[in-house]
Amino acid sequence: MRTLYVRIIVVTMVIMIASSIIAFFASNIYYQHYLKPKNDAKITHISKNIVDIYNSNNKQGVSTYLKEMADLGYKFYLVDEAGDGQVYGESFRKNNLDSSNIERVLEGNVYHGIKQYPWRPFVTGFFDNELKNTIGVPIEVNGENYALFVRPNTAQQFGEMRFFLAVLLTLALTFSFLLVLISTSYIVKPIKRLTEATKKIAAGNYHMKLNVNRKDEIGRLAKDFSRMSDSLELTETKRQEFVSNVSHEIQSPLTSIQGFTELVRDEEMTADERHYYLTIIEKESKRLSMLGKQLLILSMLDHDDSGNTAFPVSIDDQIKEVVSTTEWQWQEKNLSIDLNLQAGEIIGSTDLIQQIWMNLMTNAIRYTDNGGTISITTKEDKSGVHVYIQDTGIGMTEADVAQIFDRFYKVDKARTRSDASTGLGLAIVKKIIEIHQGTIEVESEMGKGSTFHVYLPKK
């Protein structure tokens, strides 16, 4: 039973056979305890009627009468006082009637052989053709006492019905097995397709589409599998894009450092030129260092190593600290900082949450032109803290807003290249917010600025 197909067939057939055996035993028990006494009483009533009809018609001989009655579907065994017996109708399979039972019938008693017939597990007493399995009644023939033993001729009464039932049972079992084979193939077929698709995905082929139009559990499994395939394909695409972006972001400053280093070696270069090139090398080195640091942060966040420690965090105090830390940056561009802070506290990672405000603040400074304004507002409600960071910068298009949280995405590549941006800051922000079960939303308009709305729950 290595395959599911064979396993289902075997299990189904075992169930069918076991059910048939259990049903046979149950019906046999039902016959023994309920039907057998009723059958005994019915045949006893018929036997007495046969005797009464004979007594009311004394002109007919007993042998002729019993032969005619045998044609109606009964068999008889007539015994005289001397113990001599005669069978009318088909013979009995066994002549196992005790003489004591014959004597009691001759004395005028009724013998209930059907009711007293012993229980047997595989042969229902109703069909057991033995002389012991009869009803005995007394009958008077020509002034002499006789014992008449009666039972139905089941072969005659139920012969065609038994053949019909046997054919019906055989056909039912045959068609049941055939239908099990067909239906099992129908059930297992989509699972086989899922297995083949799984092997292809394991080999790196994520372009799998399963056309399984079913509404049962297998259909839902196929739909979930297709969604998983699409998700893996998207993940693989992003992974390749991520590797490509990392390679590009690393290669670019390394190329600059290598080129300018070779220029600095020129002995005829003036001091001012050498200072200029060394400044570029230093700037590219810092950008490379920042890239490495942010990649490590993202790797840590992806592995959920950041949510292990949680402490009370004062949001308004952190924002004040970030504004103070970046003072030289916004003062250099002559920016106005408008703070409207309410006291608000949540439970989380102090360092990571501060990283949110630092990244958003430096982002706002980077994209806001000289003389612009950055407004920061905090509001606290029962569930958490809302933070709004609004700038009067260059703004973004709808396409930019949809992609700004993607890793290495840059809105203004010319601007970010000049100020050592890596394109990872907002990706880090979103990851930290998700770890703290919060949300971030962006509203922006080209030429008018952007507003970042951050919500962090208290717990």
- Domains of the chain plus CATH, in order, are 4-157 (3.30.450), 306-457 (3.30.565.10)
Integer-rounded Cα radius of gyration of the chain = 49
How confident is residue 388, by pLDDT bands cut at 50, 70 and 90? very high
The answer to whether the CB of 454 falls within 8 A of the CB of 433 is yes
Phi first, then psi: what are they for 334, rounded to 5°?
55, 45
In the predicted structure, residue 313 carries a pLDDT above the cut 90: no
Total Cβ atoms within 10 A of residue 44: 19
d(C-alpha 60, C-alpha 56), whole Å: 10
Q: What is the distance of C-alpha 266 from the center of its chain?
A: 70
Nearest to 349 by CA among 439, 432, 434: 432
Q: What is the pLDDT of residues 124-173, one digit of tens each?
A: 666 778 888 899 999 988 888 999 999 888 766 555 556 666 677 788 87
Three-state DSSP state, 251? helix
Residue at 40: amino acid letter: D
The answer to whether the CB of 369 falls within 8 A of the CB of 449 is no
Looking at residue 418, its pLDDT comes to 47
The answer to whether the CB of 92 falls within 8 A of the CB of 131 is yes
Sign of the torsion angle spanned by Cα atoms 394, 395, 398, 399: positive
Total Cβ atoms within 10 A of residue 318: 19
Q: Tell me the two tokens of residue 85.
A: 């017996």
Mean residue pLDDT of the chain comes to: 80
Provide the 8-state DSSP code for 94: B
d(C-alpha 150, C-alpha 129), whole Å: 11
Total Cβ atoms within 10 A of residue 125: 23
Residue at 393: amino acid letter: G
Q: What is the pLDDT of residues 320-353, one digit of tens each?
A: 998 988 888 888 889 999 999 888 888 888 888 8
How confident is residue 198, by pLDDT bands cut at 50, 70 and 90? confident
Q: Long-range contacts of range 97-106, CB-CB < 8 Å, 24 or more positions apart? A: 97/131, 97/132, 97/134, 97/149, 98/132, 101/136, 102/136, 102/147, 104/136, 105/79, 105/136, 105/137, 105/138, 105/147, 105/148, 105/149, 106/79, 106/81, 106/138, 106/145, 106/146, 106/147
In the predicted structure, residue 444 carries a pLDDT above the cut 60: yes
Looking at residue 217, its pLDDT comes to 73
Say which range, 49-53, 196-200, 340-344, has the weakest mean pLDDT.
Answer: 196-200
Phi first, then psi: what are they for 107, rounded to 5°?
-80, 0
